[in-house]
Amino acid sequence: DARVTQTPRHKVTEMGQEVTMRCQPILGHNTVFWYRQTMMQGLELLAYFRNRAPLDDSGMPKDRFSAEMPDATLATLKIQPSEPRDSAVYFCASGLVPGANVLTFGAGSRLTVL
């Protein structure tokens, strides 16, 4: 089965440090999403790419978060500087449009900021 691969699976860091999470979408998929999951807020959309172009990053704190797709096989989500409130599980998902855009999710990156 094709999978979305996320690294790292777990990351513990100290406040103020830079964190980079990586995602390899399924080959052939043209949409990539970044979601954040916390107990309080549930699943929140952070950013959305289509054909590598950012279409929506309104859910992302712009001052510290950035998302990019340097190429079709790699999406990155960077936090600089990190804060304790960024502690969450970050999911990457990929899909295909046009179509129903059924998203396949990665296993998530669990981030803990001390």
Partner 1 sequence: AQKVTQAQTEISVVEKEDVTLDCVYETRDTTYYLFWYKQPPSGELVFLIRRNSFDEQNEISGRYSWNFQKSTSSFNFTITASQVVDSAVYFCALSDFSSGSARQLTFGSGTQLTVLP
Near partner 1 in 35-74, by CB under 8 A: 42-43, 45, 48, 50, 55-56
Q: Any contact of residue 90 with partner 1 (CB under 8 A)?
A: no
Q: Count interface residues toward partner 1 (CB under 8 A).
A: 23
Spatial separation of the C-alpha atoms in residues 69 and 32, rounded to whole Å: 9
104-105 vs 31-38, strand pairing mode: unpaired
Question: Cβ closer to partner 1: 6 or 82?
Answer: 6
- Binding partner 1 (rule: CB under 8 A), the pick from 93, 94, 111, 113 is 93
Question: Cβ closer to partner 1: 5 or 80?
Answer: 5
Please check whether residue 35 is in contact with residue 89, taking contact to mean a CB–CB distance below 8 angstroms: no
Spatial separation of the C-alpha atoms in residues 70 and 53, rounded to whole Å: 10
**Residue 79: how many CB atoms within 10 A of its CB?**
21
Residues that bind partner 1 (CB under 8 A): 31, 33, 42-43, 45, 48, 50, 55-56, 89, 91, 93, 97, 100-108, 110
